[in-house]
Amino acid sequence: MPPTRVMAHFAARLALALVLAGAGGASAADVSNATDSAAAAGVLWNPEWRLGRATHYSAPGDVWTIHDGSCTHKYIWPDIGTGWDAGAMDDQNDEFIGSCGRCYEIKCNPRVFTDGYGASIDRMGACLDPDASVVITIVDACPCQYTGNYYSNKRWCCGDVDHLDISVYAFEKLAPLKWGVIPLLYRPVPCDYKPQKPAPKPAQPTAGIPPPKGAVRP
| Rg (the chain; Cα; Å) | 17
| Residues lower than pLDDT 70 in the chain | 1-46
148 CB neighbour count, 10 Å cutoff: 7
Question: 93 and 52 in contact (C-beta within 8 Å)?
Answer: no
What pLDDT shows up at residue 73?
A: 84
Residue 197 included in any domain: no
106 occurs within a structural domain = yes
Tell me if 127 is assigned to some domain: yes
Which 3 state secondary structure label does DSSP give 13?
helix
CA 19 to chain centre: 18
Q: Is residue 198 part of a domain?
A: no
pLDDT of residue 27: 52
Residue 81, domain member (yes or no)? yes
Q: How many domains does the chain have?
A: 1
- Does residue 195 lie within any of the structural domains? no
Please return the burial class of 218, using the count of CB atoms within 10 Å of its CB with bins 0-12, 13-18 and 19+: exposed
**Closest C-alpha among 180, 40, 165 to residue 119:** 180
Q: What angle do CA 140, 114, 12 make, to 5 degrees?
A: 75
Domain containing 178 equals 3-189
Is residue 125 one of the residues assigned to a domain?
yes
The pLDDT of residue 45: 58
Q: Could you tell me if residue 216 is inside a domain? A: no
Residue 65 sits in a domain whose CATH number is 2.40.40.10
pLDDT digits (tens, 9 = 90+) for 82-130: 999 999 999 999 999 999 999 999 999 999 999 999 999 999 999 999 9
